[in-house]
A and B are shown apart, each in its own frame.
Chain A
Amino acid sequence: MYKPEPDDFEFISDRDITVDTNFASQGYWKSVAVHFLKNRFAVTGLVLVAVIIVFAVFAPLVSSYGYQEIISVTDSVGKEITAKSLSPQFGGGDSQNLFSDRTFLFGTDDMGRDLWTRTWQGARVSLIIAFVAIFIDMLIGMSYGLISGFFGGTVDNILQRFIEIIGSIPTLVIISILAIFMEKGIGLVIVSLLITEWIPMSKIARAECLKLKEREYVLASRTLGAGSFHIIFKQILPNTMGPIITQVMFSIPVAIFTEAFLSFVGVGIVLPQCSIGSLIEAGFNNVTILPYQILPPICVLAILMLGFNLIGDGIREALSPKLEDM
């Protein structure tokens, strides 16, 4: 019998391999990123969201006031005066005002708290709620949808009937019932988002799974002895990520919206905590006297909604580029 020797083999590295440079092959995510970054609107959205996130993270840290701090000074008589309801001021104002040397970019609220700090703290709370809730929703919805789609048959039938019933209770009713059961606050907002937002996610995951489970690579994996859960989470899941990420991007503004709505109605964030919604509510109560108070939280909310919607549109287009865009 012939025994191979090292000399039998030869490196082929010096052979001339030509790569097509005009239409070089790209990885899936790299091509998505390229398409995304070419889209002006998507990049604008990304910049808007990034700016808000940077402010939400750093502005409360570097601000000279705490977001719950009631700012006050002692005047010449020794009386303590709080900085209630000040208009925006930028330091070095007229000397009549005791606070003329201070800077309040967005003014102060009717309790004497700095609105600049509170706005960014509120943005921070709203963003944290949205990210946490939607991330958990993604995990639940994805697993539910993939399992339902993959196993099919009775399992699918039962799981889908369950979704049908949950899905036909209006969000408003779910929130109202929760508001009776739970204490008002961040927990209530997150739980109501958890109950309602996973359903569209699971529908998308199921639809993708139904498409993918007939593919050859799933069959190959099955032939090699892979178990169902290996196939679902290692083979199918990575290929469903595109549509799921799109859905996540559209769910985040919904979550921010819901939080603002709940806080505005009075079952969301409670004082002295603040969020975008509770700041809008506080501003609304003073809108005729101090209209500037309501502007910063509304602008932040609008920018976030716009940004996330633009990003979502951008990702959706980047995932399924049309021929004309190539």
Chain B
Amino acid sequence: MTKYVAKRILMSALTLLAITFVLFVLIRIMPGDPFPVERMSAEMILQKREELGLNKPILEQFVNYMSMLLSGSFGNGTSLYNGAPIKPILTACLINSFKIGVLSILFGTAVGLAIGIVAALNRGKFLDGLCTLVSILGVCIPSYVFMIFLQYFFSYKIPFFPYFFDPSNFLMSSIMPALSLSLFAISTIARFTRNEMLEVINSDYVKLAEAKGLYGFELIRKHVLRNALIPIVTVIAPLVVSLLTGAMVIEKIYGINGVGKLMVDAIAGQGVDYNYVLALSIVFSAMYIAAMLVLDILYGIIDPRVRLTKKEG
């Protein structure tokens, strides 16, 4: 097991390094300069390039960048925030996004599980239909559309929640974004839970337990839930990552200073800020790879067959 985990961690680190290199090269070979050329003389551009080390060979630049990354700095921005250091801004944004992300994952998992269990226990009845409806809605309606509705009705028509994100009133102003972000998680987890539960309920060992005389809540808790919940771990990890995309728009709509909004500003703002794009891309990729790594290791712990096949392959 240790060997398997070590191998997976090494693979992930290598993948991240490869991605960082590709992203770095892509951004460096971009035509044009990363600073406002129209407002600078040719001499100033040369000087600026010298200053930023842009005329060194690309490999040397990459090594410099990596050593900077490893020392815990992301360098300075090129056009966003007047070229201030990236790290403090990025950290602040990450914390904002993280808080809302965690809230929505917790909420989404809890509600999704509840809906899925209720639906499976009432298979074919009215409640099942209702739960299916909720999970279908979550798939068809983008989270930002839901957010727009919430904002319109509960901030504008009935001014109960703040119209824009307000850091001083974190609890009230994070309810709506967390709720709309969790919509997709709710529907995915609910669907998955329902199908897993039904499969376990129809399995031979649950029938045996029933034949022994177990029934009701005891049966569900001891035999059904335990076995049904295992595969659900596998959907949660990809969901964490898909939150990123959803968060990008939600943050734009609700004016939250998060990583998604930062990315939108960096690419669709006045001037593209290459260093921000690079730093954010690396952070996103690292998060994604970390999520996949955790998922793989969890798989290995839960299901020993995965370890074995991986070893052969």
A309 touches B248 (CB 8 A): no
Output the least CB separation between A178 and chain B (Å): 9
Output the least CB separation between A261 and chain B (Å): 6
B142 touches A261 (CB 8 A): yes
Contacts of B289 in A (CB 8 A): 168
Contacts of A179 in B (CB 8 A): 267-268
Stretch binding the partner chain, chosen from A10-18, A138-146, A235-243, A263-271: A263-271
Contacts of B244 in A (CB 8 A): 170, 172
Complex interface bits, A30-41 against B, C-beta within 8 A gives 1, otherwise 0: 000000000000
Judged by a CB distance under 8 angstroms, whether A260 is at the interface is yes
Stretch binding the partner chain, chosen from B19-27, B59-67, B207-215: B19-27
Judged by a CB distance under 8 angstroms, whether A232 is at the interface is no
B15 touches A306 (CB 8 A): no
Complex interface bits, B269-313 against A, C-beta within 8 A gives 1, otherwise 0: 000101001001100110111001000000000000000000000
- Known: A267-B267, A302-B141. Contact between A177 and B23, CB under 8 A? yes
Contact of A306 among B136, B142, B264, B277 (CB under 8 A): B136
Stretch binding the partner chain, chosen from A80-88, A103-111, A119-127, A284-292: A284-292
CA A164 to CA B289, docked complex, whole Å: 11
Contacts of A298 in B (CB 8 A): 141, 145
Contacts of B274 in A (CB 8 A): 180
Output the least CB separation between B238 and chain A (Å): 11
Judged by a CB distance under 8 angstroms, whether A129 is at the interface is no
Judged by a CB distance under 8 angstroms, whether A169 is at the interface is yes
Output the least CB separation between B83 and chain A (Å): 18
CA A301 to CA B140, docked complex, whole Å: 8
Complex interface bits, B132-166 against A, C-beta within 8 A gives 1, otherwise 0: 00001001111011001001100010000000000
- The main secondary structure of chain B at its interface with chain A is helix
Judged by a CB distance under 8 angstroms, whether A56 is at the interface is no
Output the least CB separation between A325 and chain B (Å): 14
The number of residues on chain B lying at the interface, defined by a beta carbon within 8 Å of a beta carbon of chain A, is: 41
Of A169, A176, A261, A291, most buried by chain B (CB within 10 Å of CB) is A176
CA A181 to CA B280, docked complex, whole Å: 17
Judged by a CB distance under 8 angstroms, whether B87 is at the interface is no
- Known: A177-B23, A177-B26. Contact between A172 and B284, CB under 8 A? yes
Closest to B273 in A: A180
Closest to A258 in B: B245
Contacts of B142 in A (CB 8 A): 257, 260-261, 301
A170 touches B285 (CB 8 A): yes
Contacts of B281 in A (CB 8 A): 173, 176-177
Judged by a CB distance under 8 angstroms, whether B236 is at the interface is no
Contacts of B245 in A (CB 8 A): 171-172, 261
Judged by a CB distance under 8 angstroms, whether B30 is at the interface is yes
Output the least CB separation between B213 and chain A (Å): 27
Interface residues of A in 269-312 (CB under 8 A from B): 280, 284, 287-288, 291, 294, 298, 301-303, 305-306, 309
A170 touches B241 (CB 8 A): yes
B280 touches A176 (CB 8 A): yes
CA A302 to CA B137, docked complex, whole Å: 8
Q: Which residues of A contact B (CB under 8 A)?
A: 164-165, 168-173, 176-177, 179-181, 257, 260-261, 264-267, 280, 284, 287-288, 291, 294, 298, 301-303, 305-306, 309
A-B pairs with beta carbons under 8 Å apart, 18 shown: A169-B285, A170-B285, A171-B245, A172-B245, A173-B284, A180-B27, A261-B144, A261-B249, A265-B249, A265-B268, A266-B264, A267-B268, A287-B151, A287-B152, A291-B152, A298-B145, A301-B142, A309-B139
